[in-house]
């Protein structure tokens, strides 16, 4: 299909899902996101895409190199591009204003597609296990009802709804499945839905990340699911580390860094590596001496025995957590010799103990750039904070919450093939 299809991204986060659709040739009309830092990330990314279309990416490089402030950088981009990112929490009180802004951005164009999924905490198994009420009554359980309001208003041909696999088993206060209620509501909006649980590592992503991808098609036809083509490259997780400079805990910088020559294929085929725009966010957390000692033990255990660290096996002097009955794998290596890593989640914003770098000489947790590569964000993707100063915590949070870009791209490409 050669037609340029317009889409709206709801609960957009840092734009992992959107970036995949853009790479597949779709045109974003608007992004709606409540997190202020993520909205700046989206504005910067939309600015990059516009500048690229105008052959002016030098301005983007100037911004990353610190030669332009964010305000100055945005000044080179049309207001409609900056304004296409709507910083708003989707709810009953905000719908009218959001609709008005989207209508203005559409300029009488038809909206072909809606993508996005509500925050996953309310449906995730981890979220339910940590909450004393198992997330029952959490308002986020019902955000899909607002998603349906966008379907009613814009009546796109398709929608793509993404969430954690826990969605399939999450129940409300009387025991009914949220997923069944969602599909029933979407059918009332005149959409048939089909879904599959997809594992990102089946599609070229070097990460074990499972997600439910629900696709809706307007009308009553079935058998339309755009199951993406699998790609299992013969590489290991070492691909994300091999060309980045070695840095210790506390080392690196949010700004540009030098990378080594890359002679492999995966980074390029996955859309990560580029040689025109500076690579940013290769900055490691600082750690205290105790954490670094635990990191060394964990790395040595993996290197020598291919075994994961059990927290209770640590010397008593290193045990500071009261809970010694659960989460015993709270210190974990991102093993470079495996075909994919464990799942990157938003908790990486709180500490890096679950994402320890495999090089004992560097002795640190992974950087935002390394985490972004596990999520297949392009190296030229810059993660913003909510103010004018770079913040590693917002970057980690945005990356951990994202959809892997490559998975999104493969879904988008297959959707074009089945488009009616």
Beta bridge partners of 27: 6
Q: In 3D, which of 2, 16, 365, 9 has the Cα closest to residue 211? A: 16
Record the pTM.
Answer: 0.94
Query: Contact, 143 vs 175, CB < 8 A?
Result: no
Which residue in the list 39, 120, 232, 257 is annotated as catalytic?
120
Give phi and psi for 417, each to the nearest 5: -70, -35
Domains of the chain: 6-232+402-418 (3.40.50.150)
Beta bridge partners of 31: 9, 85
Q: What is the pLDDT at residue 325?
A: 61
Mean pLDDT of each 10-residue bin along the chain, 420 residues long? 87 98 98 97 98 98 97 98 98 97 95 92 53 53 94 98 93 89 97 98 98 97 96 98 97 96 96 95 97 97 95 91 70 97 95 97 98 98 91 96 98 94
DSSP character string of 244-280:
SPP--TT-EESS-B-------SHHHHTT---SSS-B-
Tell me, yes or no, if 120 is annotated catalytic.
yes
Query: Cβ of 140: how many Cβ atoms within 10 Å?
Result: 15
Provide the token pair at 26. Answer: 């779709």
Q: What is the pLDDT at residue 173?
A: 82
């Amino acid at each position: 299909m050669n037609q340029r299809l317009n889409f709206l991204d709801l609960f957009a986060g840092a734009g992992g899902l959107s970036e995949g659709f853009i790479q597949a040739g779709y045109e974003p009309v608007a992004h709606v996101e409540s997190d202020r830092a993520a909205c700046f990330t989206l504005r910067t990314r939309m600015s990059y895409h516009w500048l690229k279309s105008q052959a002016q990416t030098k301005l983007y490089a100037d911004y990353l190199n610190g030669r332009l402030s964010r305000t100055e950088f945005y000044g080179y981009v049309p207001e409609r591009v900056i304004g296409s990112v709507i910083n708003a929490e989707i709810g009953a009180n905000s719908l009218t204003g959001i609709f008005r802004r989207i209508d203005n951005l559409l300029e009488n164009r038809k909206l072909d597609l809606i993508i996005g999924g509500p925050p996953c905490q309310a449906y995730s198994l981890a979220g339910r296990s940590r909450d004393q009420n198992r997330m029952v009554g959490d308002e986020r359980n019902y955000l899909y009802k607002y998603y349906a309001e966008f379907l009613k208003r814009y009546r796109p041909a398709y929608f793509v709804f993404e969430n954690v696999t826990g969605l399939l088993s999450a129940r409300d206060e009387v025991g009914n499945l949220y997923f069944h209620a969602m599909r029933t509501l979407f059918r009332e909006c005149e959409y048939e839905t089909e879904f599959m649980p997809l594992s990102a590592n089946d599609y070229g992503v070097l990460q074990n990340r499972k997600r439910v991808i629900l696709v809706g098609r307007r009308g009553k036809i079935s058998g339309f699911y755009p199951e993406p083509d699998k790609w299992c490259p013969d590489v290991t997780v070492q691909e994300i580390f091999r060309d980045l400079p070695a840095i210790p805990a506390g080392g690196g910088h949010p700004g540009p860094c030098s990378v080594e020559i890359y002679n492999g294929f995966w980074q390029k085929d996955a859309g990560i590596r580029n040689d025109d725009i500076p690579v940013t966010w290769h900055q490691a957390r600082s750690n205290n001496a105790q954490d670094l000692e635990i990191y060394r033990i964990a790395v040595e255990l993996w290197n020598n025995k291919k075994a994961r660290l059990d927290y209770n096996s640590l010397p008593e002097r290193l045990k500071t957590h009261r809970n010694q009955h659960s989460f015993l794998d709270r210190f974990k290596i991102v093993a470079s010799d495996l075909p994919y890593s464990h799942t990157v989640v938003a908790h990486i914003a709180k500490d890096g103990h679950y994402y320890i770098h495999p090089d004992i000489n560097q002795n640190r947790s992974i950087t935002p750039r390394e985490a972004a590569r596990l999520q297949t964000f392009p190296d030229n993707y810059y993660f913003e904070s909510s103010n004018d100063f770079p913040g590693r915590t917002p970057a980690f949070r945005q990356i951990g919450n994202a959809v892997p870009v490559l998975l999104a791209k493969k879904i988008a490409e297959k959707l074009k093939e089945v488009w009616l």
